[in-house]
Structure formats: C-alpha cells, structure tokens
Amino acid sequence: MDSGARAFLQEILQTPSPSGFERPVQEVVRKYAGQFAEQVRTDVHGNVIAVKNPDAPLRVMLAGHCDQIGLIVQHIDSDGYIYAQPIGGWDPIVLVGQRVTLWTKEETVFGVIARKPIHLLTDEERKQVPKLKDLWLDIGAANEEEARKRVRVGDPVTVELAYREMSNNRAASPGMDDKCGTWVVMEALRRMDKARLNCAVHAVSTVQEEVGLRGAKTSSFGIDPQVGIAVDVTFATDCPTIEKKEEGDIRIGRGPVVYRGPNMNPVVVEKLLEAAEAAKIDYQLAASGRPPGTDANVIQINRAGVASGLVSIPNRYMHSPVELVSLDDLDKAADLLARFAESLPADADFTP
C-alpha cells in the first residue's frame, strides 16, 4: 500500500459517516477518486460513483459501503443528559465507557457514554446486559439549556474515530465495516490499467448499507450493471470463542475472502478465482447458504438480475470500536478486483 493510499484509508476512517450522514466521507472519496477516475458523480441518494472506461457496453459495478454504525440524538433531558437511538446494530455492552463525538452543524462536541459505577450496581443490575435506553451521553453540560445550545435532536454521533496501527501490518478502528470496502473498490479502480479494460468499471461508495442495503439498491438500478461485486468485511474466526465448524476458518492476513453460495453467480466466482491464481494473490473461500446481509444481496436482484459476487475482508470484533483487520488483506483485495476487471472480455457471458 503506497503512502497516498494509506493516507486515504486513514482519512476515511477518521471522517464520520453514520448511515444517512455520509456527506463528509463522500467528500473525501470524491477528492481521491477524482485523481484517477474519468468520471465522478454523486446521485441524489448520496452514492458516489467513480468510473473508468465509461463507454464500454459491459458494465461492472464494485460496491463498498461508506456508512458506519452510529447513534442519533433522540432526547435531551432537564439535566442536560442526552439519550440516543442506534443507527445500525450495536451490542450495547461495547458502548459503556466509550468516548463519543457528536457531529453538530456548528462544531464537534465531545462526550462520553457511561452508566453508574460498579460499586452502586445492585446484584440484579450486575447480572443484566445493559440496554441502550438505559445509557446516556454526557457532554459536560451544566443544564438542559446549555446542552440544547450545542446539540440538536437528530445530530449524528460516532464513537471516537481512533485509528491504531498494530504489529504485522494490522490496524484497529471503528468503521472498518465498511470503509475497508470503500477503500478497496476505489483503490481497485485506481490500479486498473485502462488499456487493458474491455468493460466499464463503476466503483461505488454506497450509502445506508447498515440500515437496509439501501444505497446499493438505488445505485445498482441507476448504473444497470451486468456484473456487480460487493466488498464488505466478514467475521475473522481466528479469535477465541468463535466456532469454526459453524462459521468457517477465516484468518486475518491470509488474503481476501471469496464467497460461494446462492447469492454469488458461479461464473463470477470462477473468474475471481482464475484472476487470483493467475496473479498469485492469496485468497480464502467462504460459504453462505443464504444471501448474507451485504450489498451483494440487493445487487443480485436488481432489475432483471445481475451476476453478483462478494469479496470480503476478514475483520475481528465487528460492530465494535476496535474492529481489527490486516492492511495486507485490503491490498490483495484491491489487486484481485483490478485483475478481475482487466480479465473480462467485452463479450463475457455470465449466464450460469
């Protein structure tokens, strides 16, 4: 990963994008893609679409969702404490004790999420899993009036967007799900040699995946691709307490994961594996007996049907503030998709 690509990854991870509030991160994506894409546009839903070789009749869509799970301000009480609704699927236990940022119109407001100290929890309370409705955000406001001056109902909230590099080229951050995917599709587009492309490639930073795969739905309708590949994160199972017999054997650093199953067109899968083998790119196989909850789910059934695929980045601790991935896996995934697109002839037929 060169320094520009690495800086792009860090910047999108440190820019907020709770579903429905993706504007700041999409601004970063547009700027990056503008350096190498022939066209960059934003649709009315907020999807950013970067294109190479736009006039080719065979259209390939690559989708990585830029939205992240977050919270939204719901209520400010008479003492100035703030209650929030989730945006996307949180395990409330990981929120207790987090530093948070409220992204208001005027400023960024720092806060914390907490509950009363363990000393004061009753025996009954200690046994219970906390619920979001019992947690509050504290921004240090002295009273309701002061809180309302700084924060409005509907302001989006993220946990602190702290990116940490670790050993073995691994990194942890909130929002690896799925800014890794956004990075991979844009970086794949950058790495494609236009002279080798017989297809148009539309790399899409999709919105609102975490609240129902919504941006992939609108953008795939608009682009009308014959081939569509989603890039998302998947569960790395190389940590304690996950059962490989149920979830498969997926390891950090062993390369991108190519999914097989009813959500994946078999010709797309074959061509992905051929591209990986020809370019000597490590990959892992994963199975899903039903369509998983990724953009590939809705891309496949766009209009009269799309030849879909799913390439995933192994991710430990998904939907937590410390999602951990290998940057090597991101690099290899970008190479894989670039070589896949370059390998397609103009008359490629994906009919199973």
209 is catalytic: yes
Q: How far is the CB of 109 from Zn ion (least distance, A)?
A: 27
Q: Which are the contacts of 36, defined by CB distance < 8 A and separation ≥ 6? A: 52, 189, 190
Options 22, 187, 209, 323, the catalytic residue: 209
Judge contact between 176 and 325, C-beta under 8 A: yes
Q: How far is the CB of 40 from Zn ion (least distance, A)?
A: 23
**Between 226 and 312, CB nearer to Zn ion:** 312
Q: Which are the contacts of 25, defined by CB distance < 8 A and separation ≥ 6? A: 12, 15, 16, 17, 66, 179, 182, 205
**Between 177 and 331, CB nearer to Zn ion:** 177
Per CB under 5 A, residues contacting Zn ion are: 177-178, 232
Q: How far is the CB of 72 from Zn ion (least distance, A)?
A: 18
**Between 136 and 235, CB nearer to Zn ion:** 235
Q: How far is the CB of 280 from Zn ion (least distance, A)?
A: 28
* Residue of this chain nearest to Zn ion (CB atom): 178
**Between 80 and 309, CB nearer to Zn ion:** 309
Judge contact between 67 and 208, C-beta under 8 A: yes
Judge contact between 88 and 211, C-beta under 8 A: yes
**Residues labelled as active-site residues:** 209
